[in-house]
């Protein structure tokens, strides 16, 4: 398909601008002006609409295909969420920071405040900041809070402990807060090795970052012991909320000893993933960390019952983003939460776990299951049986594309060879999963009988397998025509 720049015709105009109703001013001095107008597309509105409509048709998406991408919680995105967010489109964030402005924004501030309260209840935390713009941004914010906590106490801390199954963002975010990383291997039972963890802990550890259930989809039964050991060294427990969809209403991070959590609203609370963002990564903390939260902070004035903004606080880590976070995404998450309510959220977690276990049982005769026990919301297989025939996880992924399924996450977590990580979510029907299971079994049979046939796949897409080496070497990231 042509690039939009290749469809441009010199001199063609698109959307008409408002006419000027003021006199034309004297031009800016020449030395401030650009020599040539930026060479943007010149295309009619109809051609523009066709271009992007046709581009969209070159995507798999939740609304068109089963999308069991592990660790990403690709659940259905309810349409009313979009309508709700559109209501709040016209409001300028700085209005709230003007003198008397907060009283003009009680609706927006109210949504943020209520959302924070609900997230605090779900996670067992005392207060939530909505400022972080995505999960990884929440992690960084959380680690800056950890650093501020230790600094205020005069603690000298140097390290952050992570299990080897962690998301890459965990160590990267800890590094943003100036910490060095200690990595703990996974034990044969599928969780961070408790003994090695105990040995690694010392007074210089600032925090332990955990995903629970972890990226293998397993709930760590020793989590309380880990928290107790960490706290005995005055290290804080950090909860990566990527997998919260498994446990709503069952267990709360705050109750098992976590001090800081970040949430991925785009995963757990059903907001669309947008082709890679925008997300939203609120951070919840226990009381001991509230003084360090980013500014501005929304507070409830007991006297007049209004919401106000606190902008000054010496101990705060400062600002981590422009304003109040990805507000539009939060409206969607809020809408989702009040619509499902207490029982709906519990049911979401229960059926997410049921669906993952159903797929696990149906496929374990065909794919190696390195950690064979009850999983939570996702299950991690290995294509090691298929590898013996020369078929890799990526080959199975390409087979699935030809069958109309978005592949599961492959090659993550790093600790499972040829990993295939399946997260069906609660919104998929039994019929959809049964059909998917059949296709996965078909892939396993094909690997057995005709392993060479995978190399050409996929054949049903606009392109076949792409040369990633060439892309990395040529570094063509901008159209030069």
Stretch that binds other proteins, among 196-204, 316-324, 378-386, 439-447 (CB under 8 A): 316-324
By CB under 8 A, name the one of 199, 232, 322, 450 that touches other proteins.
Answer: 322
386 within 8 A of 392, measured Cβ to Cβ: yes
- 3-state DSSP assignment of residue 449: helix
Minimum gap (Å) between residue 251 Cβ and other proteins: 5
Q: Does 473 bind other proteins (CB under 8 A)?
A: yes
Q: Does 357 bind other proteins (CB under 8 A)?
A: yes
Stretch that binds other proteins, among 199-207, 229-237, 380-388, 393-401 (CB under 8 A): 393-401
What lies within 8 Å, CB to CB, of 30 at 6+ separation is none
Select 328 or 451, whichever has its Cβ closest to other proteins: 328
By CB under 8 A, name the one of 42, 126, 204, 368 that touches other proteins.
Answer: 42
Q: Which positions from 452 to 471 touch other proteins by CB under 8 A, shown as an x/- string?
A: ----x-x--xxxxxxxxxxx
Distance separating alpha carbons of residues 261 and 462, to the nearest angstrom: 41
Select 328 or 448, whichever has its Cβ closest to other proteins: 328
Binders in 105-124 for other proteins, by CB under 8 A: 105-108, 110-111, 118, 121-122, 124
By CB under 8 A, name the one of 153, 198, 300, 319 that touches other proteins.
Answer: 319
Residues 352-389: b if buried by 16+ CB within 10 A, e if exposed:
bbebbbbbbebbeebbbbbbeeebbbbbbbbbebbbeb
By CB under 8 A, name the one of 226, 283, 317, 419 that touches other proteins.
Answer: 317
Minimum gap (Å) between residue 447 Cβ and other proteins: 19
By CB under 8 A, name the one of 93, 291, 370, 451 that touches other proteins.
Answer: 93
Q: Does 136 bind other proteins (CB under 8 A)?
A: yes
Q: Does 129 bind other proteins (CB under 8 A)?
A: no
Pairing state of beta strands 307-310 and 297-300? antiparallel
Distance separating alpha carbons of residues 351 and 427, to the nearest angstrom: 8
Cα dihedral value 255, 259, 265, 268, nearest 10: -30
Binders in 209-238 for other proteins, by CB under 8 A: 218-219, 221, 223-224
Q: Which of 150, 124, 138, 165 shows the shortest CA–CA distance to 247?
A: 124
Question: How would you class 191 by CB atoms within 10 Å of its CB: exposed for 0-12, middle for 13-18, buried for 19 or more?
Answer: buried
178 within 8 A of 147, measured Cβ to Cβ: yes
Select 449 or 469, whichever has its Cβ closest to other proteins: 469
């Amino acid at each position: 398909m042509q690039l939009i720049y290749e469809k441009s015709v010199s001199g063609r105009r698109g959307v008409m601008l408002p006419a000027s109703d003021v006199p034309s001013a004297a031009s800016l001095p020449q030395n401030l002006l650009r020599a040539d107008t930026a060479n943007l597309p010149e295309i009619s509105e109809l051609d523009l609409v066709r271009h992007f409509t046709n581009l969209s048709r070159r995507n798999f998406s939740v609304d068109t295909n089963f999308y069991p991408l592990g660790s990403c919680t690709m659940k259905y995105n309810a349409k009313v969420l979009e309508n709700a967010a559109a209501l709040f489109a016209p409001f300028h964030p700085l209005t709230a920071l003007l003198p008397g402005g907060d009283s003009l924004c009680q609706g927006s501030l109210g949504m943020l405040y209520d959302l924070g309260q609900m997230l605090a209840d779900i996670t067992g935390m005392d207060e939530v900041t909505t400022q972080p713009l995505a999960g990884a941004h929440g992690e960084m914010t959380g680690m800056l809070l950890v650093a501020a906590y230790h600094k205020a106490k005069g603690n000298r801390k140097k390290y952050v402990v992570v299990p080897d199954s962690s998301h890459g963002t965990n160590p990267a975010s800890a590094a943003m807060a100036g910490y060095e990383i200690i990595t703990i291997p996974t034990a044969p039972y599928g969780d961070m090795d408790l003994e090695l963890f105990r040995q690694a802990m010392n007074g210089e550890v600032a925090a332990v970052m955990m995903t629970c259930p972890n990226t293998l989809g397993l709930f760590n039964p020793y989590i309380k012991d880990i928290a107790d050991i960490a706290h005995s060294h005055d290290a804080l427990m950090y909860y990566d909320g990527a997998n919260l969809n498994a446990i709503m209403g069952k267990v709360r991070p705050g109750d098992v000893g976590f001090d800081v959590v970040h949430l991925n609203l785009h995963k757990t609370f059903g907001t669309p993933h947008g082709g890679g963002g925008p997300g939203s990564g609120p951070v919840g903390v226990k009381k001991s960390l509230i003084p360090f939260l980013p500014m501005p902070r929304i507070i409830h004035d007991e006297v007049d019952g209004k919401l106000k903004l606190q902008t000054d606080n010496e101990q705060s880590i400062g600002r981590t983003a422009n304003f109040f976070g990805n507000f539009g995404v939060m409206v969607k998450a809020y809408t989702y939460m009040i619509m499902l309510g207490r029982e709906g959220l519990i049911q979401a977690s229960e059926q997410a776990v049921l669906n993952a276990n159903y797929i696990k049982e149906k496929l374990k005769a065909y794919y190696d299951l390195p950690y064979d026990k009850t999983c939570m919301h996702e299950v991690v297989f290995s294509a090691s049986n298929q590898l013996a025939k020369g078929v890799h996880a990526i080959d199975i992924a390409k087979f699935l594309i030809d069958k109309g399924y978005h592949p599961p996450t492959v090659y993550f977590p790093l600790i499972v060879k040829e990993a295939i990580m399946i997260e069906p979510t609660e919104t998929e029907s039994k019929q959809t999963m049964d059909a998917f299971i059949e296709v996965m079994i078909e892939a396993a049979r094909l690997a057995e009988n005709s392993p060479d046939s995978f190399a050409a796949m996929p054949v049903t897409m606009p392109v076949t397998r792409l040369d990633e080496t060439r892309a990395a070497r040529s570094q063509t990231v901008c159209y030069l025509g």
